[in-house]
Amino acid sequence: LCFSFCGVVIKLLCSTETPMHIAFYMLVMTTILALPMGLLHWKNPTPEAWMYIGIIGALTYAVQVLVGKAISKVPYM
């Protein structure tokens, strides 16, 4: 249900925003929603873990941009 809602929101935003802006907005919203639980269970990452966190963040952003581009190509019904 939530994934479908995100798809509809992305489709609506595609008419006014670039896929990069949409990906940024979605990742900021996800960060804000996850922050309370993240702070409750925070443990300091090792330097190696920070590297993996950076890689995961970059790949997640790339996926969001590509999803935005794909959804923008879908015609309205």
- Average predicted confidence (pLDDT) for the chain: 87
Q: How far apart are CA 21 and CA 64, in angstroms?
A: 10
Token look-up 């929101």 returns 9
pLDDT in tens, 5-36: 877 888 888 888 888 888 888 888 888 999 99
* Residues in Cβ contact with 7 at an 8 Å cutoff, skipping those fewer than 6 apart: 71
Question: What are the residues whose beta carbons fall under 8 Å from the beta carbon of 69, sequence distance 6 or more?
Answer: 19
Share of the chain above pLDDT 70, in %: 99
| pLDDT at position 54 | 96
For residue 77, the model assigns a pLDDT of 63
| Residue 65 binned pLDDT confidence (cut-offs 50, 70, 90) | confident
- pLDDT for position 50: 96
Q: How far apart are CA 50 and CA 48, in angstroms?
A: 5
